[in-house]
Structure formats: C-alpha cells, structure tokens
Amino acid sequence: MSGHSKWSTIKRKKGAADAKRGQIFTRLIREIVVAAKSGGGDPDGNPRLRTAIDAAKAQNMPKDNIERAIKKGTGELEGVNYEEILYEGYGPGGVAFLIEVLTDNKNRAAADVRHILNKRGGALAKAGAVAYQFESKGVFTFDKAAADEDQLMEVALEAGAEDVKDEGDSFEVHCAPGDFYAVSQALEKAGLTPTEAKLTKLPVNTVEVKEVKEAGQVLALMEALDECDDVQAVYANFDIDDDVLAQLDN
C-alpha cells in the first residue's frame, strides 16, 4: 500500500476524517466554486463541475450548500475569487510531493507551503520536477464489510473502470478521469455507495521509506500540508511498510 492509500488509512485510524468534516466541506465548496466559474454552472456541460458535485454528494453535503457554491462561481451570489496554484517539492528520503492550492491570497499560500516544507525536512522544487511522477485518476473507496468484491468488480469494469484493488480494509475502484461520471452512475445504479469518491493523483512509481524516524518525518510533513487552509489536496509517492508504521504507533 502506498501514497494516497496509506495516508487515507492512517487518517481513518486516527479519526481525522470525521474530526475535519468542516475542512472537507470547505475544500469541496471551493472546488465547486472554481469549477462553476471556469466552465459554467451547468454540470451536464461542465465535467469538472459534475465531478465536484459527485464528490460533494459522496460526502453527504446538503443540496443547498452545493447550489450556493455553484451560484457563487457563476456570479449569481457574491463569493471569493480563488486562484489555482500547483507547488512541487521533495520531503525526507527523496519523497516527491505535489501540492494543489486554491487560495484568495497567493503570497500567503506560497509562504505557508514553503515554511511547512522547510520546517519538516523538505524543499520546494522547480515546476515540472515532480508533476510527471503522478497520473490523474478517479478513485472510489469501499469498506470491505459493506461491499461484495465480485459485484463491485463486475459493475465497475463494465462501466469503464480500469481496476479494482484490494487495499487491506477497503476496496478501491480506479478509473480514468474522463470515465469518473459513468463509473459513478453505474455504481449508484447498482446500489454500491462509496465511502469516498474523488479525482486524485496517484504516483507512477513509489519511494520506499524504511527508517522509522524518516517515516515519521514524511507523515508529519504530509499531515502539516494537509492541515494548511489554502491546500486543496496533497499527493506523495512514499511507500511505508506496515511494520514501520506499527513501530511509529508504539
């Protein structure tokens, strides 16, 4: 298990996903606003908005919140003007980090990201140094206790998904970004409800982190970036063995 899957598992064990529900909603709303601003308020003609709405629904966001965010994006309601920025960097052990930011103050965001990286053994990299090491994917996560693997695989692959992966306590359906909506609709029609549905970036190759101290530093950096208000999403290509993680918990 590596990168996003490992980090998602760690957050679930810590209960961080529930504790930060407000932060999750804030990020989803920002994405809806930016998507509506860039491509219009009709999800049928705006794939990015349609995907953002699907992700919000997967987190049980109220319909009114979604509609207000769309109207803020289209200018029907007053809203904040967000700017999209992509930062690339390296952390301890040569782990690559890709940091997506949506902010109303790019100077503040740049200073915060740089400070977090420098304080925790990382550094910013030049544009293009890291991005090529990741690929965009749609990912649907299902708790094993609530999903039948054979049914999940049949429905997902028939709808155009690329793979169904066993990630320990969960299953993940992976698809190309352009197939996200079709796979989402097929899963919904089959009564298969994911615990999480999102467009993300997965590492093409991973960096194995073997030392306990270094693993702790990587995870601390990941958490600090994840908690930054202006950061929309953070991706990394680390691979930490479960035995190393167990030593961190002790």
Domain-by-domain residue ranges, the chain?
Answer: 15-74, 83-132+206-249, 134-203
From the number of C-beta atoms within 10 Å of its C-beta (0-12, 13-18, 19+), residue 216 rates as middle
pLDDT band for position 20 (cuts 50, 70, 90): low
Sequence letter at residue 129: A
Beta strand 207-209 with 238-240 is parallel
- pTM for the whole structure: 0.85
- Which pLDDT score, from 0 to 100, does residue 9 have? 64
On the question of pLDDT at 74 being above 80, the answer is yes
pLDDT in tens, 77-95: 998 889 999 999 999 999 9
Please tell me the CATH superfamily of domain 134-203, with its number.
YebC, transcriptional regulation domain (3.30.70.980)
- Examine domains 83-132+206-249 and 134-203 and report if their fold is the same: yes
Put the strands of the sheet holding 163-166 in their side by side order: 163-166, 170-175, 134-143, 196-203
Confidence band, pLDDT 50/70/90 cuts, at residue 135: very high
Output the CATH code of domain 83-132+206-249. Answer: 3.30.70.980
| Residue 120 DSSP class | T
Structure tokens at 86: 């992509």
With pLDDT > 90 as the criterion, what percentage of the chain qualifies?
Answer: 64
CB atoms within 10 A of CB 9: 17
Q: Write the burial class of residue 158 (CB in 10 Å: 0-12 exposed, 13-18 middle, 19+ buried).
A: exposed
SS3 70: helix
13 pLDDT more than 60: no
d(CA 150, CA 229) in angstroms, rounded, equals 40
Domain covering 15-74 assigned CATH 3.50.50.60 in the classification = no
Q: Point out which residues pair with 208 in neighbouring strands.
A: 239
Mean pLDDT score of the chain: 89
Q: What percent of the chain has pLDDT over 70?
A: 91
Distance, CA of 95 to CA of 29 (rounded, Å): 30
Query: Is the pLDDT at 57 greater than 90, yes or no?
Result: no
- Give Cα separations from 232 to 24, 94, 125, 166, 176 (angstroms): 9, 23, 19, 26, 20
